[in-house]
Structure 1
């Protein structure tokens, strides 16, 4: 029961918090006083708090006074996330959450204050739509954990389906055009001009496998055709893959085993995003290109290297490779310099011809992955959903994902559809397949393209043509 006492002109009430001091074994009491109370007012106030204690709604004044900056200091250590996610969360807390809420007690954050901050956050010029949502998600997680830690009775962040407040604002979507095979070929020819055979094969590998860029950078020789699956270091996985892909009716394939990411400044191998390690069948034309690329490179452990021969993940690929390949560039210009007292007219150490802009000018490299799914989806129901999502490195939720399984027949359909798409394009392009290159292609690549044109002409006509 609450205990009432007068202290001067103030009426004070004390109540039992239901807790015990672990050091002394004594009960812990809390109190509050007011000069405006009568004894009945103070008594009822104490009864209300004891009711909250019995119904697990009570937050002690000591717990509710913990400052956000103190709670945010230890909260990230409780999360079990990947290193990149951990780094991003700590960055969002340091840059946006602590500057706004650091001096506010955890228990004093009100829903109205949260809504005002949400509006201010989205108005910041350096915070995009998606990044703003990420910050709010982290804040929501933080508040949920504060409730579990009994620092608050409820979260100030609305949960579930809430009545819409304010004016409607349509979410912006990236404008995309369908991935046409002739556009990918233009990219590949520019890449061959800029980067050699590695560039040509890189573009077709990404377009026909849907691999993520970091997975492409970390593609190792032992997990790539023509060496995989015979070179797989795991004996159980090797045996299963040999039976599936190198048996009586073989299919060329590679394995997505790693991705390159940085941890504390060091480039390291990590499992693919969502731990989506997977086997990918590839069309025969890509298998032949990979064989050409890896021929004579027995000592090299990486499939794709930078122009300098170093790891591709160290090359800032999006800026130094993808932008000139997709956007095009002017021919290398001559310039004058003075050396050893003499004026010289020189050009770049690696002079390049003019490369035309492609339909991917100003666009992201990642759209090649999106386009790969478009190509598979265009088959109009021929490909199983589980086969498509597994190929993209996605997990199908629910009973469908639990019971479904990717069969070799499903994989062969995907492989054949990609091969037919390429051969029909080659047959329709004829000499333009290699003559449209900004620079003359190597003779062995031109000879291979001529063979592809010939193979494409032998295909049965398309239905309806």
Structure 2
């Protein structure tokens, strides 16, 4: 039973916590500041009821400060290195500055709601990033409950989290991906980057690969060498040998040309490394014949390990691709101009070492490169392909019974390849003779001759 003791004009109640101290004596908890003895006694009875019903959180346990709990909590998570880095960053920048000096057990739901509102009003926190911060905080509080530092989480769950004024989530305005716009992007990439850029744009448009997967696409995983050249170098792919045997029967220059998405480039501790693709979505992507031919031309023009090289010939993943490549390609830029400078006291007229022609802007001005991946799915949906074939190609898993029972067949993949090729042929016959823009460097292949062959093939087929 609890007992009450007076100290001056205030009284304190003490009760057993159900735990035992190292010396064998029972552990007590207490609360002071009462002016009414009966009120204090009833408070102690309520705490002992919590102890008996396994609801009690010791004031001593709940007094751990958030900054101390946050110091060790990330080490308990089993996530990828990029997610781990992001979580630690959100804790350091937003959670600890607000809650660091607050005891874990003292965070109230009302205080959380006020912080959530303030967080979303910050100019440097977008809608999506703000939700990620709140998700991390919710995980923190759920684990604090499991660690018996709190009785419940201050973050509302279920219907309670939708309390307040309804606000429609903003969605990015998109326009359909037209093949004419993709061709303009490819021509801009040719003028700015060279043959690698031209093939890069078309490969992304017809495969929907994520940018990091394209950066890490190696020769041994690309048509025409793959699947014969498959190094089987992924230790986490348990069925790699069996998968490779099936690939040899299904894909290849004489069967269906394809590329294998096995790796992506990411940085860990400042070092560029190969990692499995997002969600471990290893997959094989058939490509239409025209892209297969472009890949053959590109790979015959260099002997590098990676299919797509940077402008300087190095790793594409080392470049700030969005800023240094995508923005000039999508937004356009002015023609390289001569400029004056003073060197050693003498004025000089300087010409760019890599002069570029004027590059026109496209409908993707100010838009993300990732929208080309979205556009690829639009093409597949528009051509009426099955959901399992589309989602698998995008690197997604179809949940439930549908995903369990479905399978991507050879016929499904061949149909995807044929519809993408048909889309290209319908477009290529409309091109004008002067379609080829100037390249910043001499092209290592006869791209004009290749395009003429494509036009003749399209005319013969559609005649």
- Is TM more than 0.5 here? yes
Aligned to 1:25: 24
Preserved CA contact (<8 Å) 2:226 2:252:
no
Aligned to 1:284: 289
Match of 1:167 among 165, 168, 173: 165
Match of 1:209 among 207, 210, 217: 207
Aligned to 1:16: 16
Preserved CA contact (<8 Å) 1:386 1:401:
yes
Preserved CA contact (<8 Å) 2:34 2:40:
no
Question: Separation in 1 of the partners of 2:260 and 2:161?
Answer: 47
How far 1:454 moved relative to its partner? 1.1
How far 1:5 moved relative to its partner? 4.4
Aligned to 1:310: 314
Aligned to 1:256: 261
Aligned to 1:332: 336
Aligned to 2:177: 179
Structure 2 unpaired stretches of 5+: 233-240
Preserved CA contact (<8 Å) 1:190 1:438:
no
Match of 1:387 among 386, 389, 410: 389
2:295 equivalent to 1:293: no
Aligned to 1:129: 127
Cα distance change on mapping 1:103 and 1:377 into 2, 3 Å = same
Cα distance change on mapping 1:239 and 1:297 into 2, 3 Å = farther
Structure 1 unpaired stretches of 5+: none
How far 1:6 moved relative to its partner? 4.7
Question: Separation in 1 of the partners of 2:335 and 2:301?
Answer: 31
Preserved CA contact (<8 Å) 1:16 1:29:
yes
Preserved CA contact (<8 Å) 1:109 1:156:
yes
How far 1:309 moved relative to its partner? 1.3
Preserved CA contact (<8 Å) 2:223 2:252:
no
Q: What CA deviation, in whole Å up to 9, does each residue of 1:348-374 have, x standing for no partner?
A: 000111111111111111111011001
Preserved CA contact (<8 Å) 2:261 2:285:
yes
SS of the equivalent of 2:29 reads: strand
Question: Separation in 1 of the partners of 2:367 and 2:274?
Answer: 27
Preserved CA contact (<8 Å) 2:224 2:252:
no
Question: Separation in 2 of the partners of 1:336 and 1:4?
Answer: 88
How far 1:239 moved relative to its partner? 1.9
Q: How does 1:405-420 map to 2 (within 5 A)?
A: 405-420=407-422
Aligned to 1:77: 75
Aligned to 2:238: none
How far 1:18 moved relative to its partner? 1.2
How far 1:195 moved relative to its partner? 1.1
SS of the equivalent of 1:161 reads: helix
Question: Separation in 2 of the partners of 1:42 and 1:186?
Answer: 78
RMSD: 2.0
Q: How many residues align?
A: 453
Select between 165-174 and 394-403 the one with higher mean Cα deviation.
165-174
Cα distance change on mapping 1:438 and 1:105 into 2, 3 Å = same
Cα distance change on mapping 1:53 and 1:296 into 2, 3 Å = same
Select between 105-114 and 156-165 the one with higher mean Cα deviation.
156-165
Question: Separation in 2 of the partners of 1:106 and 1:265?
Answer: 34
How far 1:167 moved relative to its partner? 3.2
Match of 1:237 among 238, 243, 265: 243
Q: How does 1:439-458 map to 2 (within 5 A)?
A: 442=443, 444-458=446-460
Question: Separation in 2 of the partners of 1:138 and 1:35?
Answer: 38
How far 1:398 moved relative to its partner? 1.1
Question: Separation in 2 of the partners of 1:219 and 1:239?
Answer: 21
SS of the equivalent of 1:104 reads: coil
Calculate the TM-score normalised by the size of structure 2.
Answer: 0.93
Cα distance change on mapping 1:357 and 1:54 into 2, 3 Å = same
Question: Separation in 2 of the partners of 1:214 and 1:59?
Answer: 47
How far 1:388 moved relative to its partner? 0.5
Question: Separation in 2 of the partners of 1:242 and 1:287?
Answer: 17
Question: Separation in 1 of the partners of 2:342 and 2:39?
Answer: 92
Aligned to 1:138: 136
2:109 equivalent to 1:111: yes
Calculate the TM-score normalised by the size of structure 1.
Answer: 0.93
Question: Separation in 2 of the partners of 1:411 and 1:34?
Answer: 74
Preserved CA contact (<8 Å) 1:337 1:346:
yes
